[in-house]
Amino acid sequence: MTHAVVHPELDPALTVRITAHSAIDGVRAGSALLAVGDRLLVVGDDAHTATWIEPSSGGSRAQVLAGDGGVLPKPLKPDFEAAVVDPDGSVWLLGSGSLSNRWLVTRLSGPDHAEVTSYDRAEVYAAIATHLGTAPNLEGAVFAGNVLRVCHRSTGALPDVVIDLPSDVLRGGRTRVLATTRLAPAVVGGVPAHVTDLALLPDGRIAFLAAAEDTDDPVADGPVAGTVFGILEGDRAWWAPILEADGSPSTRKAEGLVIDPDGSGGWLVTDRDDPSLPAELCRFTLR
């Protein structure tokens, strides 16, 4: 089932404000963020490495997923742009699919999520590509009810596409597209803001993060005019610009989103698109 395009509306009553931020040692390209128990998992797109963070202490620990875990050149990077906690407690990292070497999914399971297994899920990405009519560019994933919901990030004025897949598809279940929702981009400073992550709100609605990145190439980076937080509910969506502590619009390229259990705030992770600069972990409030 494909729905008509959902056009998100600016919600003046919604305020999203960054209250603190800190550099993440060893992470250069934050692309996804998860809450796993009482820890945060930061995923980068340029290496087979994930970083565990203890929010209470700020301590961090890198987990090598393959090879030596070092930064890879752009054509070889895994481009992990989505991550999701499975109902069984394991963690899945999903490649964007924008190139064929990014059709990889990696599972972290077992005690302390120390068991790492990677799978080529070409059939999943191929099915999405066939449905879209173009190469997928997945950014964000959540388990919502009995489906795995992922988002294809478009460019320019084209809508992003939220795609429902069977919940067992990452484990090798039959691949088929169950439903899609096309989400038009909000516009910030004349630049369309496309989805960079999805997260579940406590009431089950979908929250999304979107960056207004001035580029028409899904692989190439561009300057960021702003970042927005939005909520998708059926055929309606609304959004607000993410603000800095002083109330000015944030131009951080936020790519990972975690919502607190009470819905009052959460965490963001950024990608600064500069290998010499560390990614940042940002705390935000939501009202």
pLDDT tens series, the chain, 287 aa: 666 899 999 999 999 999 999 999 888 889 999 999 999 999 988 888 999 999 988 899 999 998 888 888 877 788 899 999 999 999 999 999 998 889 999 999 999 999 999 999 999 999 999 999 999 999 999 999 999 999 999 999 999 999 999 999 999 999 999 999 999 999 999 999 999 999 999 999 999 999 999 877 666 677 899 999 999 999 999 999 999 999 999 999 999 999 999 999 999 999 988 888 999 999 999 99
What is the pLDDT, as a whole number, of residue 276? 87
Cα separation, 105 vs 118, in Å, equals 6
In a domain, 3, yes or no: no
Query: Which pTM does this prediction carry?
Result: 0.95
CATH number at residue 253: 2.120.10.30
pLDDT of residue 218: 61
In a domain, 2, yes or no: no
What tokens were used for 13?
């009553």
- 280 alpha carbon, distance to own chain's centre: 15
Structure tokens at 110: 């077992």
Round to whole Å and give the CA distance between 183 and 179: 13
| Cα-Cα-Cα-Cα dihedral sign, residues 88, 93, 97, 101 | negative
Domain total of the chain: 1
Answer yes or no: is 212 within a domain: yes
Q: Does residue 1 sit within a domain?
A: no
* Residue-wise burial string across 133-151, b where 16 or more C-beta atoms lie within 10 A, e elsewhere: eebbbbbbbbbbeebbbbb
In a domain, 175, yes or no: yes
In a domain, 36, yes or no: yes
Is 269 domain-assigned? yes
CB 42 within 8 A of CB 28: no
Classify residue 265: in a domain, yes or no.
yes
Give pLDDT, residue 117: 97
Domain that holds residue 148: 9-286
